[in-house]
């Protein structure tokens, strides 16, 4: 399932200059394919992320009976089978490294009267699925085989789905989305009550495809600050819509931080999504003193986007509150790199969710820093980075099959006094195909 590891080294090579458009947003790409497959008719998608994670979701949907075809660079169409219309697949659905694709598709299958086996690579097999399976079982799905709530597992979808009210114990857009998608097959209303708002792409796209969905902001005494109640009415006939996928802010973050930590850099990032539930990194970097300008603010695919002009900046340490974590959960490794080049200590609180990503990303991020001469400590679920305005570098970073650890380490190498190497660059393609060439176009030295 895996290719031979590909080591890669990043070296300081002077200021970065130019323009870059990050790949299409991964969250939007997965959801556009899945909701297109649950609609009746043909949906056209432009700017789809053609990374391994999203391609595996497309393959799974084909195996379930939807017609999913590529018709040009980033251009795809999906001919859906309708809510509850998936056919039973003949083989296991292989999601590779994608937790998002797997968990959302568990929700899609849970509402259909079929049985499917879900599998993935060694990294995905280590990731917990039980918190998704619990609400899906309440809807009526049954887990026929699973190893300790992990892949590979076999799920029998509900023959008579039941609408539920579910409050996730931990804020998670993936769990929320899986339940809402499964709830499409149930009569009546399925409701999620979340204590903290998580990324709302599923809600927006469901409404865009014609589902009846209500989002209510809750009082603090009913849930945590910023809590929401999301209710979807089941058994709709979703209408296929064209989707233009904006650039992924989580992928754009790597070029953005690289430009910030290298003096004299000036980079423009085109068409980056500015959804308020995805911009925690930008808020934090502004607080650290980053020079980031928003240009040409507009709407694409139902989301606000902007071009970002980023210049090399003198950064300072800050405290990042736990409440901000859901809006930047994928960006902490590269934020930690920015913190290493800041003056003073940066404290990132409430990072429990990082422990169940593609790797134990909290431990991996601290190890990345320490191996390159940066002092970093973990206390409970908090990460402390003691920045000195510079980084020595010189380390070999174990990526643990984690694409974001790999890219963050390479960004560190571009600003460090000595080169930084990673043990395997092959996983970068799961979220950012062409990362190396894109960064080289700005002046990065990777070899």
CATH assignment at residue 363: 3.65.10.10
Quick check: 1 pLDDT over 50? no
Percentage of the chain with pLDDT > 90? 87
- Same domain? 17 vs 30: no
User: Residue 113 falls within a domain, yes or no?
Assistant: yes
- What pLDDT shows up at residue 227? 87
State the catalytic residue, choosing from 53, 119, 330, 402: 330
- What pLDDT shows up at residue 154? 96
- Same domain? 341 vs 298: yes
Give the pLDDT band of residue 296 (cuts 50, 70, 90).
Answer: very high
Quick check: 2 pLDDT over 60? no
Quick check: 326 pLDDT over 50? yes
User: Residue 225 falls within a domain, yes or no?
Assistant: yes
Report how far residue 411's alpha carbon sits from residue 76's, in angstroms, rounded to the nearest whole number.
Answer: 31
User: Residue 3 falls within a domain, yes or no?
Assistant: no
| 248 among known catalytic residues | no
- Same domain? 430 vs 283: yes
- Same domain? 80 vs 150: yes
- Same domain? 207 vs 259: no
Query: pLDDT tens digits, residue range 391-429?
Result: 999 999 999 989 999 999 999 999 999 999 999 999 898
Mean pLDDT of the 200-225 span: 84
Report how far residue 398's alpha carbon sits from residue 440's, in angstroms, rounded to the nearest whole number.
Answer: 22
Q: Domain range holding 439?
A: 8-24+247-446
- Same domain? 207 vs 175: yes
Q: Which letter does DSSP use for residue 432 in this model?
A: -
Quick check: 28 pLDDT over 60? yes
Total domain count, the chain? 2
Query: pLDDT tens digits, residue range 84-118?
Result: 999 999 999 999 989 999 999 999 999 999 999 99
What does pTM read for this prediction? 0.86
- Same domain? 313 vs 188: no
Query: Which of 187, 203, 231 is at the close of a domain?
Result: 231
Query: Which of 231, 265, 292 is at the close of a domain?
Result: 231
Query: pLDDT tens digits, residue range 9-19?
Result: 999 999 999 99
Read out DSSP for 351-371? -GGGGGSSS-HHHHHHHHHHT
User: Residue 1 falls within a domain, yes or no?
Assistant: no
Query: pLDDT tens digits, residue range 150-164?
Result: 999 999 999 999 999
Give the pLDDT band of residue 301 (cuts 50, 70, 90).
Answer: low
- Same domain? 66 vs 101: yes
Give the pLDDT band of residue 3 (cuts 50, 70, 90).
Answer: low
Tokens at 260, concatenated = 């910030």
- Same domain? 35 vs 13: no
Contact 81, 111 (CB under 8 A): no
Please name which of 300, 271, 376 lies closest in space to residue 332, comparing C-alpha atoms. Answer: 376
- Same domain? 216 vs 280: no
User: Residue 238 falls within a domain, yes or no?
Assistant: no
Query: pLDDT tens digits, residue range 220-262?
Result: 544 445 689 999 999 999 999 999 999 999 999 999 999 999 9
- Same domain? 261 vs 143: no
């Amino acid at each position: 399932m895996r290719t031979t590891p590909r080591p890669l080294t990043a070296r300081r090579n002077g200021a970065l200059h130019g323009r870059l458009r990050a790949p299409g947003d991964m969250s939007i790409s997965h959801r556009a394919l899945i909701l297109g497959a649950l609609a009746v008719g043909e949906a056209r998608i432009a700017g789809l992320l053609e990374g391994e994670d999203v391609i595996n979701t497309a393959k799974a949907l084909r195996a379930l009976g939807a017609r999913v075809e590529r018709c040009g660079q980033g251009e795809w169409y999906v001919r859906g089978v309708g809510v509850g219309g998936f056919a039973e697949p003949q083989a296991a659905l292989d999601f590779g490294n994608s937790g998002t694709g797997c968990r959302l598709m568990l929700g899609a299958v849970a509402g259909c009267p079929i049985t499917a086996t879900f599998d993935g690579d060694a990294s995905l097999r280590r990731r917990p699925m039980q918190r998704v399976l619990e609400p899906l079982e309440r809807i009526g799905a049954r887990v026929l085989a699973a190893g300790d709530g992990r892949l590979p597992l076999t799920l029998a979808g509900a023959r008579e789905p039941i609408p539920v009210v579910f409050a996730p114990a931990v804020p998670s857009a993936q769990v929320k989305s899986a339940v809402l998608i499964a709830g499409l097959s149930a009569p009546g209303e399925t409701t999620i009550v979340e204590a903290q708002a998580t990324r709302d792409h599923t809600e927006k796209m469901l409404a865009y495809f014609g589902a009846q969905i209500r989002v209510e902001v809750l009082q603090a005494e009913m849930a945590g600050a910023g809590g929401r109640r999301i209710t979807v009415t089941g058994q709709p006939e979703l209408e296929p819509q064209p989707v233009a996928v904006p650039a992924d802010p989580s992928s754009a973050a790597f070029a953005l931080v690289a430009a910030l930590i290298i003096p004299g850099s000036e980079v423009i990032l085109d068409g980056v999504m500015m959804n308020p539930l995805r911009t925690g990194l930008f808020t934090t970097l502004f607080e650290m003193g980053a020079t980031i300008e928003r240009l040409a603010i507009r709407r694409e695919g139902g989301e606000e986007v902007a071009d970002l002009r980023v210049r090399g900046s003198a950064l300072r340490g800050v405290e990042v509150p736990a409440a901000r974590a859901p809006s930047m959960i994928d960006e902490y490794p590269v934020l930690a790199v920015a913190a290493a080049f800041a003056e003073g200590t940066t404290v990132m609180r409430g990072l429990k969710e990082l422990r169940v990503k593609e790797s134990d990303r909290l431990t991996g991020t601290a190890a990345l820093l320490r191996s390159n001469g940066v002092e970093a400590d973990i206390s409970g679920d908090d990460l402390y980075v003691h920045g000195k305005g510079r980084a020595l570098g010189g380390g070999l970073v174990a990526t643990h099959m984690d694409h974001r650890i790999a890219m963050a380490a390479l960004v560190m190498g571009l600003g460090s006094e000595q080169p930084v190497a990673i043990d395997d660059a092959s996983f970068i393609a799961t979220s950012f195909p062409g990362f190396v060439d894109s960064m080289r176009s700005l002046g990065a030295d990777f070899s």
